[in-house]
């Protein structure tokens, strides 16, 4: 049982993280790669997800409130964009509303909002588009009451992909903004 619990914690993190950032199956495989063979003899992954959330709540190593890990796991650090667009989807607005709430809890924190693009654009255009995306996020957070001086933006264009593939799935994950605590 001890062995089992040990594996459930990282698994729980993976599941929560994946849910928070709309991750892909690809990603789960790579994050939980080390223990996958052990998990295989366990009950099914989906079946144990509810139990694993409980055990992570009890875990003393759960992320400290107000940290990047907290933001990633409990709020959502990123949102995604349509092709060649900086428009915030309803789902994205939901995540940013949670970010604004979370920022109210930690008034000393400030964020850098990174704007990113997929690789299917030219370099300079993507730098401009990334800036447009990061600014869209910043503007919305300001509209939600976050002080502008707590929010920096930076565009990485297509220079810092998150997913390394060269297909629609990777491009969807790379058209994003990511909020990073300064």
Rounded least distance, CB 23 to other proteins, Å: 15
Among residues 26, 37, 36, 48, which one has the least CA distance to residue 163?
26
- Map residues 38-77 to x or -, x wherever contact with other proteins holds by CB under 8 A: ----------------------------------------
Residues between 83 and 102 with contacts to other proteins, criterion CB under 8 A: 84, 86
Which parts of the chain are beta strand (E)?
Answer: 78-80, 111-116, 151-157, 176-181
Cα separation, 71 vs 154, in Å, equals: 19
- Map residues 120-159 to x or -, x wherever contact with other proteins holds by CB under 8 A: xxxxxx-xxx-xx--xx--x--------------xxx--x
Q: In the Cβ-directed half-sphere of 99, how many Cα atoms lie within 13 Å? A: 35
- Give the H or E element holding residue 139: helix 123-143
> Which residue ranges make up the site for other proteins (CB under 8 A)?
84, 86, 119-125, 127-129, 131-132, 135-136, 139, 154-156, 159-162, 164, 166
């Amino acid at each position: 049982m001890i062995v089992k619990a040990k594996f459930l914690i990282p698994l729980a993190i993976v599941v929560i993280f994946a849910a928070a950032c709309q991750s892909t199956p690809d990603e789960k495989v790579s994050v939980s790669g080390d223990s996958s063979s052990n998990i295989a003899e366990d009950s099914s992954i989906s079946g144990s997800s509810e139990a694993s959330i409980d055990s992570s709540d009890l875990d003393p190593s759960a992320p400290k409130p107000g940290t990047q890990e907290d933001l990633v796991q409990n709020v959502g650090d990123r949102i995604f964009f349509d092709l060649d667009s900086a428009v915030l989807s309803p789902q994205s607005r939901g995540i940013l509303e949670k970010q604004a709430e979370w920022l109210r809890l930690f008034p000393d924190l400030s964020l850098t909002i990174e704007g990113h693009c997929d690789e299917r654009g030219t370099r300079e255009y993507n730098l401009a588009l990334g800036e447009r995306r990061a600014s869209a996020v910043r503007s919305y957070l300001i509209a939600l009451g976050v002080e502008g001086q707590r929010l920096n933006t930076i565009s990485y264009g297509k220079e810092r992909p998150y997913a390394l593939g060269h297909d629609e799935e990777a491009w969807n994950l790379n058209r994003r903004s990511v909020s990073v605590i300064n």
